[in-house]
């Protein structure tokens, strides 16, 4: 990590810019700043671009009245803090389903998403297509796996925003 810290400092000293990009939509940028800090790498919020931020940028180009935010409390908070009208309960007026990596997954969320896709034909967005998310013990299902599960139930696929799709790269 020592070499990484030196390299990043040199990039800044010479007027360059770098960007950490992640498809992990379950954590906020603050958590990544803390993580890098523990590794001895100083960073600020502008050093990061997450699939959640890229998704927010995409959603801001739309005029959705209400977005069903399928994800963690952190994910929902980030969308709400960005000024988007969100909900995590099935109610009138929802015109978009926004799926993310959800470590707080419940059957109710899967059922709500299925109803929205089958009965209401809402726009369907997903933060990233990753099948798995690495952990200290191996991998767990990620957003792409949840999207595949919903596809098997509804026949509908989302518009993915995160890497390797171009939306996030263009935003960077």
Cβ atoms of residues 132 and 141 within 8 Å? yes
Read off φ and ψ for residue 67, nearest 5 degrees.
-110, 125
- What is the pLDDT, as a whole number, of residue 41? 85
- What is the pLDDT, as a whole number, of residue 56? 96
User: Which whole-number Å values give the CA distances from 97 to 48, 60, 89, 135, 164, in the listed order?
Assistant: 25, 14, 11, 27, 21
Structure confidence at residue 36 as a pLDDT band (50, 70, 90) = confident
Cβ atoms of residues 88 and 58 within 8 Å? no
pLDDT at residue 14 tops 90: yes
Per residue in 103-155, pLDDT (tens digit) is: 999 999 999 999 999 999 999 999 999 999 988 999 999 999 999 999 999 99
58-83 mean pLDDT: 95
pTM, two decimal places: 0.88
Among 6-10, 54-58, 111-115, name the one with the lowest average pLDDT: 6-10
Q: Cα separation of 68 and 45, whole Å?
A: 26
């Amino acid at each position: 990590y020592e070499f990484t810290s030196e390299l990043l400092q040199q990039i800044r000293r010479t007027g360059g810019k770098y960007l950490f990009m992640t498809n992990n939509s379950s954590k906020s940028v603050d958590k990544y700043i803390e993580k890098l800090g523990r590794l001895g790498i100083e960073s600020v919020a502008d050093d990061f671009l997450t699939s959640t931020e890229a998704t927010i940028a995409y959603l801001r180009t739309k005029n959705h009245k209400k977005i069903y935010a399928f994800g963690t409390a952190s994910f929902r908070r980030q969308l709400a803090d960005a000024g988007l009208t969100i909900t995590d309960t099935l109610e009138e007026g929802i015109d978009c389903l926004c799926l993310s990596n959800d470590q707080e997954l419940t059957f109710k969320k899967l059922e709500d998403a299925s109803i929205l896709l089958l009965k209401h034909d809402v726009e369907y967005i997903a933060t990233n297509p990753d099948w798995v998310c690495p952990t200290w013990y191996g991998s767990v299902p990620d957003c792409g796996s949840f999207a595949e599960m919903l596809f098997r139930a509804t026949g509908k696929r989302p518009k993915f925003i995160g890497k390797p799709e171009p939306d996030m790269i263009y935003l960077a």
